[in-house]
């Protein structure tokens, strides 16, 4: 049956008709629009890519130039390192075995039973076995040396090389590093070459910080992926993906901002650095640049300086556990500071040791031994010893002698004349005695001291105040105070330069005198003990530091002549007011100026300019400055010798006799000084090695109740207790001979050639000798003595 058509069916048929196809023109236009859009997109894309590529290349070229300029120039600021004097040893030197032990202890050598490594020594009563450290001296590097030093009662007898079984003509002991000169940036480092770092420390660093260092190209995708996984597991940032090369780029070139742009530049620069430079060069830069803490407000960069700060030793001498501690601190020097957080630091150190064991760098037994050790940080961690007073003088000389050649940030090395043992003991003598003497003088008592080489004038030690480490007012250089009786040797020296008229036996009068001033005032000098002795011989007047005979002698000589003598000794004429009271030291000098005066006097009249600077060497080993000590004979040798002899008598029987009871064997010379109302206490002590000047007083110039004998002399004696003096042996100059004398009833001396009491004389015209020849012999005297 056929279906009938209905209206609905018709509608349905109409609705099911296919839509009308668009015309060909419309289709063509659509395709063209699509192609146009793609073309535009492509056009924009390649231009953007090209612009981006150009930008990347431009940035790369710029960053490459920055990297190249820095790496091929001076990678980072290198401070000026200051060293003490180099100790030269040779067979026949009078140095004692204890002095050498003291030197090694100051240099932080380790005393062991059998030295096997540099920085170790052993000692018996007559010999020292020493493994001397390597060091780059001013004339070139020297390797470590294994030697035996043999001593007898006279000093160093023999130096034997244990490596070659041969005697050595000399041995140099490396100098102590004193510190670094300040520069514009508050960061310090001690540059070391790559080959100077222990390999096991480098292994520890790579195991801990960058295991793929030798495989990646500056950026390590593997390390980034490993860090992401570790951080996701922990739910926080526990591990970074930066390589050592990236860290070096960040430390040298970039800020610490945590931005994507900084991170991209860091990665880009790391790629450039890795492409341009060897892995060892990159490691050398990192090992010297990495930040590892602070000391006295200055940032400590590099493992070389950190080793000195925390352990007081060169990094080559550190144990595995000590190296592991430094490596562990890289992650956070403040957080893992072993001084403030020792437990936290030990945990980090042990983690580094454990990683080393897991990676096969350490055996299990080595790990157990290293992990069981304490941290062994220095009790008072510091880069080096602090001698601020000495450094002030050094800076003055650098400016005067080196001038524009000197730059503080290019890695210069400065060698000085400082004796580290003398400096240490002089500081400690001041620190020990001033609190004791303050019980008499009051808490405001201050002090200063300077020790100089008697022959060369080189400054061996300097202390600027009782706070020896305080970088403030330097009293040794700048405290100009009345010198009191310290001037007297210049008065007697002036007389002894006239041998036809004066000698050590010349009679002086210790009787009341009065001198009229230009304005009618009268000055009547008195002796310290208020006594008068009548007649006294010249040598005894100086030995006992008598005021009245000194003034009488000075007036005979003339004020201008004594000032001339002071000028020859190195005192500026402008410092001395030409009045009679100058004979008793009414003018002012600094301890430094006093030291110059006595250096000339006790060196047989040969003046050497006081100096601290020996040489300046650049990082390539070129000598920029070399001090050549010069001496000039400004005083007659014989007169200076006789005056020094009289100062020896001062220690034997005069104002310095306190020393004779303890150090009589050393035949010391010395001179006390006390200013008016005991405002200043002075002492100058002379042994075979040094001229040491000590001053005590108050900054407000109030009385101290201390004389030279009861104050400054006691500091010097304390110094000698720990710095064993060298015997003061004075070679007799030509023209000096001894003659016998006897005391008369009035206290004067009378020539008595056969008498046991002898005095040295400068008998220029043989007048005294002729008198002796004319005297009757001893048996004739006895015959007529009834």
The phi, psi pair for 606, rounded to 5°, reads: -95, 120
Contacts of 734 (CB under 8 A, 6+ apart): 638
What is the rounded radius of gyration, in angstroms, for the C-alpha atoms of the chain? 40
CA torsion angle 372 377 379 385 (round to 10): 150
Helices (H), 155-220: 199-209
The phi, psi pair for 353, rounded to 5°, reads: -60, -40
Distance (Å, whole) CA 584 – CA 682: 13
Distance (Å, whole) CA 352 – CA 204: 7
Distance (Å, whole) CA 60 – CA 272: 8
The phi, psi pair for 582, rounded to 5°, reads: -65, -25
The H-or-E segment that residue 538 falls in is: helix 538-543
- Per residue in 591-611, is it b (16+ CB within 10 Å) or e — as a string? bbbbbbbbbbbbbbbbbbebb
Is residue 700 packed enough to be buried (19+ CB in 10 Å), middle (13-18) or exposed (0-12)?
exposed
Distances (CA, A) of 166 to 153, 373, 434, 752: 23, 39, 49, 57
Annotated catalytic residue within 209, 266, 552, 718: 209
Q: Tell me if 385 sits within 8 A of 178, measured CB to CB.
A: yes
Distance (Å, whole) CA 327 – CA 595: 48
Distance (Å, whole) CA 598 – CA 717: 18
The phi, psi pair for 613, rounded to 5°, reads: -90, 130
The phi, psi pair for 534, rounded to 5°, reads: 80, -120
Please give the structure tokens belonging to residue 545. Answer: 């530091």
Active site residue 209: yes
Nearest CA-CA partner of 553 in 566, 567, 568, 542 = 542
Distances (CA, A) of 328 to 246, 282, 348, 519: 18, 20, 6, 79
The phi, psi pair for 598, rounded to 5°, reads: -80, -25
- CB count in 10 Å sphere of residue 275: 11
Annotated catalytic residue within 485, 545, 675, 709: 485
Active site residue 485: yes
Distance (Å, whole) CA 625 – CA 685: 32
Distances (CA, A) of 225 to 220, 229, 242: 9, 6, 11
Alpha-carbon 156 to chain mean position: 27
Catalytic sites, residue numbers: 209, 485
């Amino acid at each position: 049956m056929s279906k009938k058509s209905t209206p609905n069916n018709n509608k349905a048929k109409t609705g099911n008709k296919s839509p009308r196809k668009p015309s060909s023109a419309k289709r063509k236009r659509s395709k063209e629009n699509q192609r146009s859009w793609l073309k535009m997109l492509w056009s924009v894309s390649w231009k953007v890519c090209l612009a981006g590529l150009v930008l990347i290349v431009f940035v790369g070229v710029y960053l490459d130039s920055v990297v190249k300029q820095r790496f091929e120039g001076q990678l980072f600021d290198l401070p000026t390192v200051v060293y003490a004097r180099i100790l030269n040893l040779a067979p026949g030197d009078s140095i004692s075995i204890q002095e050498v032990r003291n030197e090694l202890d100051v240099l932080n050598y380790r005393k062991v039973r059998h030295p096997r490594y540099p920085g170790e020594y052993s000692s018996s009563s007559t010999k020292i076995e020493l493994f001397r450290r390597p060091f780059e001296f001013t004339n070139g590097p020297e390797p470590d040396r294994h030697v035996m030093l043999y001593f007898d009662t006279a000093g160093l007898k023999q130096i034997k090389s244990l490596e070659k079984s041969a005697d050595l003509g000399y041995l140099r002991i490396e100098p102590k590093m004193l510190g670094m000169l300040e520069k514009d940036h508050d960061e310090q480092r001690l540059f070391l070459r790559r080959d100077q770092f222990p390999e096991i420390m480098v292994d520890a660093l790579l195991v801990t910080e960058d295991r793929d260092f030798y495989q990646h190209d500056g950026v390590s995708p593997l390390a980034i992926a490993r860090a992401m996984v570790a951080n996701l597991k922990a739910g926080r940032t526990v591990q970074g993906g930066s390589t050592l090369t990236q860290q070096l780029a960040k430390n040298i070139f970039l800020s610490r901002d945590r931005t994507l742009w900084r991170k991209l530049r860091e990665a880009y620069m790391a790629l450039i650095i890795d492409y341009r430079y060897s892995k060892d060069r990159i490691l050398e830069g990192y090992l010297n640049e990495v930040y590892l803490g602070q000391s006295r407000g200055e940032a400590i960069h590099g493992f070389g300086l950190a080793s000195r700060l925390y352990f007081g030793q060169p990094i080559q001498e550190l144990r595995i556990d000590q190296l592991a501690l430094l490596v562990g601190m890289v992650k956070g020097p403040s957080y893992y500071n072993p001084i403030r957080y020792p437990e936290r630091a030990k945990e980090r150190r042990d983690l580094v040791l454990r990683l080393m064991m897991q990676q096969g760098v350490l055996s299990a037994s080595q790990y157990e031994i290293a992990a069981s050790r304490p941290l062994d940080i220095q009790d008072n961690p510091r880069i080096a010893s602090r001698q601020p007073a000495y450094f002030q003088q050094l800076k003055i000389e650098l400016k005067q002698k080196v001038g524009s050649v000197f730059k503080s940030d290019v890695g210069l090395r400065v060698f000085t004349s400082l004796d580290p043992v003398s400096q240490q003991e002089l500081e400690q003598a001041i620190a020990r005695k001033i609190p004791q003497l303050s019980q008499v003088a009051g808490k405001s008592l201050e002090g200063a001291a300077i020790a100089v080489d008697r022959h060369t004038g080189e400054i061996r030690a300097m202390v600027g105040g009782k706070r020896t480490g305080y970088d403030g007012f330097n009293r040794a250089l700048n405290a100009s105070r009345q010198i009191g009786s310290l001037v007297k040797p210049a008065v007697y020296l002036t007389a002894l330069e006239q041998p036809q008229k004066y000698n050590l036996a010349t009679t002086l009068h210790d009787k009341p005198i009065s001198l009229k001033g230009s304005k009618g005032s009268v000055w009547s000098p008195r002796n310290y003990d208020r006594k008068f002795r009548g007649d006294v011989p010249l040598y005894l007047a100086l030995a006992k530091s008598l005021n009245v005979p000194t003034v009488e002698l000075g007036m005979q000589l003339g004020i201008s002549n004594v000032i001339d003598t002071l000028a020859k000794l190195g005192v500026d004429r402008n410092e001395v007011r030409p009045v009679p009271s100058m004979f008793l030291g009414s003018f002012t000098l600094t301890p430094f100026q006093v030291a110059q005066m006595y250096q000339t006097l006790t060196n047989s009249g040969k003046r050497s300019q006081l100096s601290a600077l020996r040489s300046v060497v650049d990082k390539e080993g070129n000598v920029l400055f070399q001090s050549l000590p010069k001496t000039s004979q400004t005083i007659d040798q014989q007169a200076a010798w006789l005056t020094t002899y009289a100062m020896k008598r001062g220690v034997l029987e005069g104002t310095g006799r306190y020393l004779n009871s303890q150090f009589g064997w050393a035949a010391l010379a010395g001179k006390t000084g006390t200013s008016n109302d005991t405002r200043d206490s002075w002492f100058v002590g002379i042994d075979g090695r040094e001229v040491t000047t000590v001053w005590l007083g108050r900054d407000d110039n109030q009385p101290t109740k201390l004389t030279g004998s009861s104050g400054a002399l006691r500091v010097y004696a304390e110094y000698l207790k720990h710095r064993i003096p060298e015997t003061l042996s004075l070679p007799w100059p030509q023209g000096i001979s001894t003659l016998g004398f006897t005391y008369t009833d009035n206290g004067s001396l009378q020539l008595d050639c056969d008498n046991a009491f002898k005095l040295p004389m400068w008998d220029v015209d043989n007048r005294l000798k002729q008198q002796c020849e004319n005297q009757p012999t001893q048996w004739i005297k006895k015959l007529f003595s009834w």
